[in-house]
Amino acid sequence: MKLSDLKPGQSGIIIKVTGRGAFRRRIIEMGFVKGKKAEMLTKAPLKDPTVYKVMDYEVSLRKSEAELIEIFTGEEIQPSNESEKFPLILNEDKLLSLANEQSKVINVALVGNPNSGKTSLFNIASGTHERVGNYSGVTVDAKEGKFKYKGYTFNLVDLPGTYSLSAYSPEELYVRKQIFEGTPDIIINVVSASNLERNLYLTTQLIDMDATAVMALNMYDELEKSGAKLDYQSLAEMIGYPIVPTVAKSGKGIPELFDQVIEVYERRSPIARHIHINYGEEIETGIKHVKKLLKEKTQLGIDTSRRYLSILLLEGDKVGEQMVAKFSGAKQILKERDIHAQYIRDDFREDVETAFTDARYGFIDGALQQTFKVGKQDSLKITHRIDKVVTNKILGFPLFFLFMFVMFEGTFFLGKYPMQWIEWLVAVFGNFIDGRMSEGPLKSLLIDGIIGGVGSVIVFLPNIVILYLFISFMEDTGYMARAAFIMDKFMQKMGLHGKSFIPLVMGFGCNVPAIMSTRIIESRNTRLITILVNSLMSCSARLPVYLLLVGAFFPKNGGLVLFGLYITGIILAIIMSRIFKKFLVKGEDLPFVMELPPYRMPTLKAMNRHGWDKTSQYLKKMGGVILVASIIVWFLEYFPQGVGKENSYIGKIGHFIEPAVKPLGFDWKIGTSLVSGMAAKEIIVSTLGVIYTGDGENDMLLKERLQAEQASDGSLVFTPLVATSLLLFVLIYFPCIATIAAIKNESGSWKWALFVIFYTTALAWLVSFGVYQVGSMLGL
């Protein structure tokens, strides 16, 4: 609990003092140190400040200051059994011992550039399996992990990768907010050793923020291979941050890194200290005057660095301006800011933000000149050779489309064999249950509902894992960034941005993280259009439907048909984005600026982890939404008993829908499955699996039942034309509920989520109607 939570006469043992800089030093110097007893005595008449007793003397603190001091009272202990229902009576030694345990909880935030290996470090340290990719923007939100090391508990937060802490992109604002409001005890600044100058820019901003940090000099093996030399101990002395070389993908240096975190946390590190970057006389004069007014004219929390806020104001940072706007002296502060900002512009003949940027890089350049010696070997030689081929103006596009074709062909044919094994196991299990249970609702539920529904979807697990492994390979090697590079001009024609390509390709895996990853796009207009068309990318949830219908009606050209479906989604995304850009979301785009990381060979461990992650997610889905949906569909199909499927509950629902889907070539059963598929696309297959069982033909595979299904007039319900119409409808219509929620969260409005529901369903109906009607006229 916080010191501010104490009631009169109540006391506790101080666990830690959060905050930073001058406030933290001042509070500790006043006696509020870990392990000391603090007692709340009385509040002022207006409830603030409060008088506390510490080290046998009395001191007053405001509530905002007391909230930054964590204490332990013993009340936090939860009773473990009936005998401990009453409050525990703890002597002071026991209380101190328990408080010491509580103080060994360290909140750590990982901050670094995209592609610095930050998430790899997070995974290896915490043991979690977050997504790692070799391009910027993989971590789209803060990820949390927890682990124990040397008696300490580390609460680890992986913040989104960002190049700076300005207000240029959502990631930058998010990371800055988390550092300010989340107040981590220690920041691990993850720096790529292969690109020191660029990565250290973020470090200079952390120094300005007065952040307590330890630097992980990651990918240190690449620096050594290049023949470069870095005196990182001297560099650490210069910046006031301990530096530890690491290789996150192998775990090298990780224990030493957290040893240093403990040293800094316990204030034992001889290196850790706060420095000021000298920005030169003109800029420092401006900082000094603005800082002076901030101290006189505002009531900022003592934890807020006035120097850092002065820098933000001089740079014209909008968030910084909002922080002072609520104070009565805001006009005077901003006026003084404007005067000195103009002095800086006149002196440097450029805008203030550029002047600060140049000064920071000047500081970095000076530090590296004294500590860094460039290697003789070209560490990017292999990358440059590969790029000459894959980004070639003649070979680039054919190679990209060849890779995409191989991906879908491999998904269909490589997955065919394990899919057949799983089909066999499902059939054996169904026959085992059938031969050992008497007829009745329970047997029907198990065989027709659960095995028929879940079993019809789980057979496609190998195909989905193969698809994800292909996408992971593109991401982990660094090829995804090259694909975005070669597609930028094409994306511009769509009214999008080269960076839009990455979320669109990620949509082949799952639309939800793909929509979240649009945060890497700086332009709000382009980001919104990318969100609106992303659901047209065929996610893996649609794959079971595709494989079922393609395997049943296009077995000889399965890979080609599958490839055509994905290309159709891309073409529709192009058309719709052009329409949206022209009529719905207008505005100028930002320039294409994107890092092209060096190629790296994915480790077998990483590939296995990605495959297992997707397998476990799919299995959880089978045991969750798919299972529940299958039971609901079975119930609607089974009851009322004795009336047949046509007059069951699901039959009545289907016949109500049938007039809307009949022009597309669909009967009531297909219409019902499409309605159920609004929750998750795999449910379409499970619904078909439930509806087409229970008729004495359980030994037939689902695709064989679809091939044999006849209408009342004896004609086949499913034909290649109907299958094509259905495939296109499933490709386009109504994104799943999770995708709708992601659209709402990322666009900031239900308006756009509802718009996507409407336009995709309308577009699906029009496309399927056109294909079926024209095909029928041609006698297909």
Query: Residue 187 and residue 183: Cα distance in Å, rounded?
Result: 9
- Distance in angstroms (rounded) separating the CA atoms of residues 197 and 79: 53
More confident residue, 644 or 433: 433
When mean pLDDT is compared across 151-160, 177-186, 254-263, the lowest value belongs to 177-186
> Residue 591, preceding bond cis, omega within 30 degrees?
no
Other CB atoms within a 10 A radius of the CB of residue 93 amount to 8
DSSP-assigned states of every residue in 275-328: ------HHHHHHHHHHHHHHHHH----TTS-HHHHHHHHHHT-HHHHHHHHTST
Preceding omega of 49 cis (within 30 degrees of 0): yes
Instruction: Please give the pLDDT value at position 225.
Output: 87
- pLDDT (0 to 100) of residue 88: 47
Contact (Cβ atoms closer than 8 angstroms) between residue 14 and residue 70 = yes
- The per-residue b/e assignment along 670-695, b for 16 or more CB within 10 angstroms, e otherwise, is bbbbbbbbbbbbbbbbbbbbbbbbbe
Find out whether 772 and 663 touch, Cβ atoms under 8 Å: yes
pLDDT at residue 587, as a whole number: 64
Q: Is the C-alpha dihedral spanning 745, 750, 752, 756 positive or negative?
A: positive
With a cut of 90, say whether residue 67 has pLDDT above it: no
Band (pLDDT 50/70/90 cuts) for residue 370 is very high
Buried b / exposed e along 549-582 (16+ C-beta atoms within 10 A): bbbbbbeeebbebbbbbbebbbebbbebbbebbe
Q: Is the pLDDT of residue 100 over 80?
A: no
Residues 712-726 have a mean pLDDT of 93
Of 517 and 289, the structure prediction assigns the larger pLDDT to: 289
Coil vs helix vs strand at 251: coil
User: Does residue 716 have a pLDDT over 90?
Assistant: yes
**Average model confidence (pLDDT) across the chain:** 85
Contact between 349 and 355 under an 8 Å Cβ cutoff? The reply is no
Task: Please report the pLDDT score of residue 340 as a whole number.
Answer: 94
What is the structure's pLDDT at 534? 94
What six digits make up the tokens of 263? 């040293």
Q: What is the C-alpha to C-alpha distance for residues 410 and 393, in angstroms, rounded to an integer? A: 26
| pLDDT above 60: residue 111 | yes
Contact (CB, 8 A) for 487 and 399: no
What's the rounded Cα separation, in Å, for the pair 739 and 753? Answer: 9
CA distance 755 to 737: 14
Q: Is 586 helix (H, G, I), strand (E, B) or coil?
A: coil
d(CA 353, CA 345): 10
What pLDDT sits at residue 145?
87
**Nearest partner of 416 among 555, 538, 542, 545, judged by Cα:** 555
With cut-offs at 50, 70 and 90, classify the pLDDT of residue 76: low
Evaluate whether 684 touches 671 at the Cβ level (below 8 Å). Answer: no
Q: How many other C-beta atoms can be found within 10 angstroms of the C-beta atom of residue 624?
A: 11
Question: Does the pLDDT value for residue 85 go beyond 50?
Answer: no
pTM for the model stands at 0.72
Give the lowest-confidence range in 217-221, 472-476, 711-715, 754-758.
Answer: 472-476
Nearest of 115, 125, 130 to residue 186 by alpha carbon: 125
Is it the case that residue 84 has pLDDT exceeding 60? Answer: no
SS (H, E, C) 85-117: CCCCCCCHHHHHHHHHHHHCEEEEEEEECCCCC
User: Which has the closest alpha carbon to 172: 116, 112, 217, 239?
Assistant: 112
What does the alpha-carbon distance between residue 657 and residue 667 come to, in Å, rounded to a whole number?
A: 9
What pLDDT was estimated at residue 81? 54
User: Rounded to an integer, what distance in angstroms lies between the CA atom of residue 16 and that of residue 706?
Assistant: 66
More confident residue, 172 or 655: 655
The SS3 assignment for 191 reads strand
- Quick one: average pLDDT of 349-362? 92
pLDDT: which is higher, 103 or 167:
103
19 or 198, greater pLDDT: 198
Residue 94 confidence (pLDDT) above 70: no
Length of the chain measured in residues: 780
Q: Which residues of 453-487 are buried (b: 16+ CB within 10 A; e: fewer)?
A: bbbbbbbbbbbbbbbbbbbbbbbbbbbbbbbbbbb
**Distance from C-alpha of 263 to C-alpha of 267, rounded to nearest angstrom:** 6
Find out whether 534 and 500 touch, Cβ atoms under 8 Å.
no
Which residue has 């401990």 as its token pair? 84
pLDDT recorded at residue 554:
94
Separation CA 345–CA 417 (nearest Å): 68
User: Taking a C-beta distance cutoff of 8 angstroms, is the pair 553, 546 a contact?
Assistant: no
Rg from Cα positions in the chain: 31
Q: Provide the angle, in degrees to the nearest 10, between the axes of the packed helices 543-553 and 461-477.
A: 120
Q: At what angle do helices 306-315 and 196-208 cross, to 10 degrees?
A: 120
What pLDDT is stored for residue 90 in this prediction?
A: 53
Residue 680: alpha-carbon gap to chain centroid: 21
Decide the pairing of beta strands 69-72 and 229-230.
Answer: unpaired
CA distances from 503 to 140, 266, 475, 552, 609 (A): 11, 42, 12, 31, 21
Please tell me the predicted confidence (pLDDT) of residue 487: 81
Residue 698 — pLDDT band, cuts 50, 70, 90?
very low
CA distance 25 to 348: 36
Q: What is the pLDDT of residue 697?
A: 44
* Secondary structure (3-state) at 330: helix
Q: List, for residues 37-66, the tens digit of each pLDDT value.
A: 888 888 888 888 898 888 888 888 888 788
Q: What are phi and psi of 190, to 5 degrees?
A: -85, 120
The rounded distance, in Å, linking the Cα atoms of 198 and 92 is 52
Amino acid at 635: F
The full DSSP string for 438-475 is -SSHHHHIIIIIIIHHHHHHHTTHHHHHHHHHHHHHHH
Residues 4 and 48: beta-carbon distance below 8 Å: no
- 313-328: average pLDDT: 89
Contact 717, 485 (CB under 8 A): no
Judge whether residue 369 has pLDDT over 60: yes
Residues near 411 by Cβ (< 8 Å), separated by ≥ 6? 463, 466, 467, 470, 543, 562
Amino acid identity of residue 702, one-letter, is: L
Q: What is the mean pLDDT of residues 531-543?
A: 92
Residue 135 has pLDDT above 50, yes or no: no
Q: Two tokens at 759?
A: 């336009």
Q: What is the pLDDT of residues 591-609, one digit of tens each?
A: 556 677 888 887 777 777 7
Region 307-322: mean pLDDT is 91
Please report the pLDDT score of residue 508 as a whole number: 86
Question: Pick the residue with more confidence: 82 or 350?
Answer: 350
pLDDT higher than 70, residue 406: yes
